[in-house]
Amino acid sequence: MLRTVFMGSDAIALPLLNWLADEARQTVELVAIYTQPDRAVGRGQKVQPNAIKLWAQARGLPVHQPEKLTPEELARLKTFRSDVALIMAYGHILRQDFISAPRLGTLNLHTSLLPKYRGASPIQTAIASGERQTGVTLMKIVPALDAGPIADVERVSIGALDTALEVEAKLADACIPLLARALPKLADGTLGFLEQDAAQATFCRKLEKADGALDFTASAAQLAARINGLFPWPACSIEINGQSVKLGLADTVAAETCRETGDGFSTSGSEPGMILGSDAEGLLIATGQGVLRLRRLQRPGGKMLGAADFMRGFSLSAGLKLASRSMAALVSVQPFPRTKG
């Protein structure tokens, strides 16, 4: 039986926690949950517990929410006499003394196929970068960012119409078979680790609201990937008739299919950002290469709607040109500078 401390702050870990508490209870004993302090959320900025705390309270498990990992917190962690700590989206950077406190060390579930997409936004950045596959990596924690040796991975597909919401759900479920393989090996001392190839590492950063900008001189494929990857937050947007319109889903249309038709759209003489018209699935926008199709849109104060429903109450005309805005890089071969907050 592995005495296990879980450290996490995001609802993505809930399927895993349910599995650990129920189906894996012959292998795992959850002895404590660490999560972020209650924060102000939403428009009303009401202080609320996160989903992990609520789950732990419902299960009667001790919950600890340190603002900082002080020596006193380390002393308390040691009182649990844990065999292993499992971390997923915790939000604290652990010092070496915390990492080494459990008897068998500390393992992290990182939502990318390491060494690609180390850092703060691996799910969104993988989708926005046009990947068709991602996964969860089980790794040892080391002081360097997401650089620890790898025990195992569980791969998931990224569909052409998957947003970060769909991919996150796939990754949440993928943690279960991954740990079902790994934990028995950890318990009997046969779990092996392979060092990462640092030369293949890429890094992603904490996302900002400004990342929702779109530059229509980019290709339609790049734009669709960014729109889908950054939904639901920070969400890409366009300005139409002075209103900011949020985008919830996009794909591409081959330019050669966009000839003059009964629907009234054509790429002839178009410029990047120009509205070409619409088809049965969405609003068609000219780009630097190919045609972007906006499938779901939301006006200020409204609901996210399919394009056909959106356009019934929103006047749009072919030939209107949408403004382009610079798109900041989401991925780098070097770590991004850390930002506050």
Domains of the chain: which residue ranges? Answer: 1-104, 107-208+328-341, 214-312
Chain centroid to CA 169: 10
- Per-residue confidence (pLDDT) for residue 259, from 0 to 100: 52
| pLDDT at position 263 over 50 | no
Task: Say which range, 38-47, 157-166, 236-245, has the weakest mean pLDDT.
Answer: 38-47
- What pLDDT digit, counting tens, does each position of 174-203 carry? 999 999 999 999 999 999 999 999 999 999
Q: Per-residue pLDDT averaged across 141-159, rounded?
A: 96
Q: Is 3.40.50.970 the CATH classification of the domain at 1-104?
A: no
Q: What are the C-alpha distances in Å from 3 to residues 25, 64, 324?
A: 10, 16, 54
Average pLDDT, the chain: 93
- Per-residue confidence (pLDDT) for residue 341, from 0 to 100: 45
Is there a contact between 241 and 313 (Cβ–Cβ < 8 Å)? no
Q: Is 3.10.25.10 the CATH classification of the domain at 214-312?
A: yes
> Percent of the chain beyond pLDDT 70?
95
> Percent of the chain beyond pLDDT 90?
84
- Per-residue confidence (pLDDT) for residue 44, from 0 to 100: 81
- Per-residue confidence (pLDDT) for residue 339, from 0 to 100: 61
* C-alpha span between 287 and 262 (Å, rounded): 22
Question: In 10 A of CB 250, how many CB atoms?
Answer: 28
Question: How is residue 219 annotated by DSSP?
Answer: B
- Per-residue confidence (pLDDT) for residue 163, from 0 to 100: 98
Secondary structure (DSSP) of 119-143: ES-HHHHHHHTT-SEEEEEEEE--S
* C-alpha span between 50 and 87 (Å, rounded): 16
- Per-residue confidence (pLDDT) for residue 318, from 0 to 100: 81
Q: What are the C-alpha distances in Å from 46 to residues 49, 65, 160, 303?
A: 10, 18, 37, 23
Task: Say which range, 2-16, 101-115, 247-261, 280-294, has the weakest mean pLDDT.
Answer: 247-261
| pLDDT at position 244 over 70 | yes
**Domains 1-104 and 107-208+328-341 belong to one CATH topology:** yes
- Per-residue confidence (pLDDT) for residue 40, from 0 to 100: 86
Give the amino acid at 176. Answer: I
Is there a contact between 284 and 292 (Cβ–Cβ < 8 Å)? yes
| Burial grade of 295 (CB within 10 A; 0-12, 13-18, 19 or more) | buried
Q: Per-residue pLDDT averaged across 228-250, rounded?
A: 95
- Per-residue confidence (pLDDT) for residue 31, from 0 to 100: 97
* CATH of region 107-208+328-341, choose from 1.10.8.60, 3.40.50.80, 3.40.50.170, 3.30.1600.10: 3.40.50.170
Q: Indicate the Cα dihedral angle 10, 12, 14, 15, nearest 10°.
A: -170
| pLDDT at position 253 over 90 | yes
Q: Per-residue pLDDT averaged across 89-106, rounded?
A: 94
Q: Per-residue pLDDT averaged across 324-334, rounded?
A: 96
